Structure 1
Amino acid sequence: MKTIEERLQEHKQTLNIVQAPSELEGRLRNALEHVPTKKRNMNRAMTWVASSAAALLLIVGTYQYPAFAYYGGKLFNKIELMSLSFSKVAEQGYGQTVNKSKTLDDGTVITINGVIADDNALLMYYTIDRPAGSVFTDNGLFLYGVGKMQGFLTDSDPKEGSGGNSKDETQYEGVYKFEPVSPFSRTLTVTFSERLDNGEQASYPISFKFEANKAMKSMLEEDISKSVPVDQGTVRYDSITASPTSTIVKGHYEMDDEGYPRFPGKTKLYVNGAEVKSLGMRSYRFGEFELEFDVLPTDKMETIEIVLENFAGYQKVEEPISLASPSDQSIKIGNEKIWIRSVTKTDTGYDIVIAGKQFTILETEDLSVQAGGIVIPVSSISSSRPWDLKNGNILWEQTYSFNTMEEPERLLLDGFHYIKTYDKTISIPIDIKK
């Protein structure tokens, strides 16, 4: 099997012929306990039809889209691309030189040095130079902001940025990563902002010609179209796109209630058995999601695998739970455990303290107890609070109150949600682009 470098060299030769913390954990857990189930929007089909029609008009029209140019040389990983200056990147044959500047009223000069674009992202390299005799009193990343990248069919949000001041504090050199831009854009505009002394923000749009033939095409694009069954639906992986800036896996959820999963779970990507670093996840309407990973290794790729390590699970409770001997010992239900820590008499009834692992959420709609032969529903539920086991583990407990003068005998619970281990593997065919 040929390496990526060998494939890219073939691609270059072909194109040469062509002219062209704990408190936070508690708050997150409490928020999850009250997440409403969202329904799918029926306008999705209409949106898809409109988008398809627009795309068709562009394809059959006279708008010419130049071929992507070879982006040869050494393949940098994402971290290297975000930390290098554009001059270093350009030395390797990357990207499009821009050199478009705007001079501010005080003499400060903002310059877009160059951009690198592919199917997953656009990287913009820029510098901010202070006027003669002046230096940065603050890091430029905080003094000057970067807004959206806009153009024809393009409205891309900035995703992350990095940079720093020069040794003499007269120049800030930075790089920003944006959502991918449309290859049909001929002009792109990015808006910089400055934090003024009076607390207001000043905006400075800078436009530049975008040359798609200087951009970079993805190395690997594959339809996956495979799914993993989960307790209350399916996780479907639709596609993978690998480029020199990152690797994107797209998919969507097909939940039984047509809503969203309570926990998005963790998906890992492996190449030749080695894990590729995860860079984050984004969720969208209609249950769609994107998983971002680091760039794929540039040596020979024998296997690519997606592993759904864990995801939302649901455990149904078939039998009532005895409240006769509350203690700090766990009760195993299915593959999970809960703890009935105490049953305490109060002025208005009884309080029951129940604990579980982080993100183990009891169903409370029909939660009740049996007391004196009568079923008593829960009257109030406290916020979650940590229970430190003093052995490196922390569980989360809540107090459930019941208005009854009779001591509860059994807890009636329909089920609970939790993070379930699945460890399901999907193999992806490899077809490196020539």
Structure 2
Amino acid sequence: MQTIEEKLLEHKQSLNVVQAPAELESRLRNALEHVPAKKKNMSRPMTWIASSAAALLLIIGTYQYPAFAYYGSKLLNTTDLYSLSFSEVADQGYGQTVNKSKTLDDGTVITIDGVIADENALLMYYTVGRHAGSVYNDHGSYRYGVDGLHGFMTNSDWKEGGGNPSEDETQFEGVYKFEPVSPFARTLTVTFYEWLDNGERASYPISFDFEANKAMKSMIKEDISKSVPVDEGTVHYDSITASPTSTIVKGHYDMDEKGYPRFMGNTKLYVNGTEMKPRRMQSSDDSKKDILGFELEFDVLPTDKIKTIELVLEDFPGYQKVEEPISLASPSDQSIKIGDEKVWIRSVTKTDAGYDIVIARKQFTFLETDNLSVQAGDIVVPVSSISSSRPWDLKNGNILWEQTYSFNITEKPERLLLDGFDYIKTYDKTISIPVGQ
């Protein structure tokens, strides 16, 4: 049977890339500090306790994916991963060096320099070195690309990518971001492609060993399970996962009218009081569970010393019911306030068919038109046609949108009858996310 010391020696290389999270270290230290003082001849049991703690770290570090990496990370405190070359990342002790290349028929060399993986994504750093006598920009930025990344239980599409040519334009250094890969994959294959001069496309798969113990564990992974009621339903925030590649908030909608809202609204993320830069938002429905999901991605957290995390639903589609008729007696460019929103009755004009009314509103304000009508005395006439939207430039940096509403009525209309309108409503609702200690 192997002793603990033998196991530690056997797994020394794995432990070299594993760092214990700060909170685990403090808990162990606190536990040891509360052990009653012993006589000097009790040093052997204390050595056993220390060895057991090391063995615990060994087991966790070896078998939990991804490993305890980057807690207290210098990298996350100072630099966005996307702005670094892989050599700069590797110099700080992060990521897995790959250094696998494929040489094309014309002498161009495509190299996978290294990868960084976590529960949110996999970042692949690569280099395209053009053959002698040729520069990268000879054939434009789209000559080379990537189809996807494959492996055991892994079929990941790329989500975004970018990079820059070198100063002499003989090579290109870039990074692709893929969907997360399976922690059980041992070999990954990335398929590059090239658009040839004859218009055909050639594919170049490059396979490399994937070392999961060099990937990075999420800094924060919390269930939120909180919601914000809105005018026509509820916005649920389900979870947050923060990692060295990104911060992702997942949630779902429960709307009165089945289906996605017209707009996703704006959710802001604050960490220690600082707003995180948003990267993207997208829907992520689960047809099997009939869930209308969404996913919000933010920038990498700037620090590992997280004290507070807050989500703020800044705005979201709202509905304003119009209780009273709107007077058409004095059309002008002055606004009419209804609830928290405004509309403008710009003109009421006689036409051969009846009357045209020009109504202006903000870009994302939409009048409910099912029962839109005008009234003259006891006569009520519904709208007959509505023009396309057109901009109304206020010449002060603001642009509104106006439409012409036509009514087949002989008498001049006195009132506009409107049930309500959809608009972007300010909510400013804050959700505090508990941070694990």
Instruction: Answer whether TM exceeds 0.5 for this pair.
Output: yes
Q: 3-state DSSP class of the match of 1:119?
A: coil
TM-score, scaled to structure 1 = 0.83
Residue of structure 2 in register with 1:124 after alignment: 124
Q: For residues 402 and 77 of structure 1, do their structure 2 counterparts lie closer, same or farther at Cα, with a shift above 3 Å needed?
A: farther
Q: Is the 8 A contact 1:65 1:212 kept in 2?
A: no
Q: Is the 8 A contact 2:310 2:433 kept in 1?
A: yes
Partners of 2:267 and 2:302 in 1: CA distance: 18
1:35-74 → structure 2 map (5 Å cutoff): 68-71=67-70, 73-74=73-74
Q: Is the 8 A contact 1:126 1:175 kept in 2?
A: yes
Q: For residues 66 and 137 of structure 1, do their structure 2 counterparts lie closer, same or farther at Cα, with a shift above 3 Å needed?
A: closer
Whether 2:321 is the aligned partner of 1:322: answer no
Partners of 1:168 and 1:8 in 2: CA distance: 48
Structure 1 residue corresponding to 2:58, chosen from 5, 13, 17: 17
Q: For residues 431 and 196 of structure 1, do their structure 2 counterparts lie closer, same or farther at Cα, with a shift above 3 Å needed?
A: same
Residue of structure 2 in register with 1:386 after alignment: 391
Partners of 2:212 and 2:366 in 1: CA distance: 49
Q: Is the 8 A contact 1:71 1:93 kept in 2?
A: no
Whether 2:342 is the aligned partner of 1:337: answer yes
1:164-188 Cα offsets, whole Å, 9 max, x none, are 2222222111111112222232322
Partners of 1:70 and 1:123 in 2: CA distance: 16
Partners of 1:127 and 1:399 in 2: CA distance: 56
Alignment gaps of 5+ in structure 1: 21-63
Q: For residues 339 and 380 of structure 1, do their structure 2 counterparts lie closer, same or farther at Cα, with a shift above 3 Å needed?
A: same
- Code of the aligned partner of 2:390: R
Q: 3-state DSSP class of the match of 1:142?
A: coil
Q: For residues 409 and 303 of structure 1, do their structure 2 counterparts lie closer, same or farther at Cα, with a shift above 3 Å needed?
A: same
Q: Is the 8 A contact 2:233 2:255 kept in 1?
A: yes
Q: For residues 123 and 141 of structure 1, do their structure 2 counterparts lie closer, same or farther at Cα, with a shift above 3 Å needed?
A: farther
Query: Which deviates more, 114-123 or 65-74?
Result: 65-74
Q: For residues 79 and 287 of structure 1, do their structure 2 counterparts lie closer, same or farther at Cα, with a shift above 3 Å needed?
A: farther
Q: Is the 8 A contact 2:76 2:302 kept in 1?
A: no
Partners of 1:366 and 1:307 in 2: CA distance: 35
Residue of structure 1 in register with 2:418 after alignment: 413
Q: Is the 8 A contact 1:97 1:114 kept in 2?
A: yes
Residue of structure 2 in register with 1:134 after alignment: 134
CA deviation after TM superposition for structure 1 residue 77, in Å: 6.2
- Code of the aligned partner of 1:418: Y
1:89-238 → structure 2 map (5 Å cutoff): 89-138=89-138, 141-238=141-238
Q: Is the 8 A contact 2:232 2:318 kept in 1?
A: yes
CA deviation after TM superposition for structure 1 residue 100, in Å: 1.8
CA deviation after TM superposition for structure 1 residue 384, in Å: 1.2
Whether 2:300 is the aligned partner of 1:301: answer no
Q: 3-state DSSP class of the match of 2:137?
A: coil
Whether 2:379 is the aligned partner of 1:374: answer yes
1:31-88 Cα offsets, whole Å, 9 max, x none, are xxxxxxxxxxxxxxxxxxxxxxxxxxxxxxxxx8765252465123696311211111
- Code of the aligned partner of 1:294: D
Q: Is the 8 A contact 1:234 1:255 kept in 2?
A: yes
CA deviation after TM superposition for structure 1 residue 270, in Å: 1.1
Partners of 2:268 and 2:138 in 1: CA distance: 39
1:169-213 Cα offsets, whole Å, 9 max, x none, are 221111111122222323222222222223333222222222211
Partners of 2:88 and 2:24 in 1: CA distance: 20
Q: Is the 8 A contact 1:363 1:415 kept in 2?
A: yes
Query: Which deviates more, 214-223 or 161-170?
Result: 161-170
Q: For residues 248 and 356 of structure 1, do their structure 2 counterparts lie closer, same or farther at Cα, with a shift above 3 Å needed?
A: same
Structure 2 residue corresponding to 1:311, chosen from 311, 316, 319: 316
Partners of 1:196 and 1:78 in 2: CA distance: 40
Residue of structure 1 in register with 2:10 after alignment: none
Residue of structure 2 in register with 1:32 after alignment: none
Partners of 2:56 and 2:119 in 1: CA distance: 19
Whether 2:283 is the aligned partner of 1:283: answer yes
- Code of the aligned partner of 1:351: D
CA deviation after TM superposition for structure 1 residue 8, in Å: 8.4
Identity of aligned residues (%): 74
Residue of structure 2 in register with 1:357 after alignment: 362
Q: 3-state DSSP class of the match of 1:89?
A: helix
CA deviation after TM superposition for structure 1 residue 326, in Å: 1.0
Residue of structure 1 in register with 2:239 after alignment: 239
Q: Is the 8 A contact 1:324 1:409 kept in 2?
A: yes
1:373-398 Cα offsets, whole Å, 9 max, x none, are 33222122111111111222221111
Residue of structure 2 in register with 1:274 after alignment: 274
Residue of structure 2 in register with 1:258 after alignment: 258
- Code of the aligned partner of 2:116: I
Query: Which deviates more, 187-196 or 138-147?
Result: 138-147
Q: Is the 8 A contact 1:71 1:95 kept in 2?
A: no
- Code of the aligned partner of 2:101: S
- Code of the aligned partner of 1:247: T
Q: Is the 8 A contact 2:273 2:308 kept in 1?
A: yes
- Code of the aligned partner of 2:96: Q
Q: 3-state DSSP class of the match of 2:436?
A: coil
Q: Give the total of aligned pairs.
A: 386
CA deviation after TM superposition for structure 1 residue 405, in Å: 2.4
- Structure with higher Rg: it is 2
Q: For residues 299 and 222 of structure 1, do their structure 2 counterparts lie closer, same or farther at Cα, with a shift above 3 Å needed?
A: closer
Partners of 2:81 and 2:65 in 1: CA distance: 24
Whether 2:403 is the aligned partner of 1:398: answer yes
1:339-386 Cα offsets, whole Å, 9 max, x none, are 111111122221111011120011112211124533222122111111
Q: For residues 309 and 170 of structure 1, do their structure 2 counterparts lie closer, same or farther at Cα, with a shift above 3 Å needed?
A: same
Q: 3-state DSSP class of the match of 1:99?
A: strand
Q: 3-state DSSP class of the match of 2:80?
A: helix
Alignment gaps of 5+ in structure 2: 1-19, 29-52, 286-290
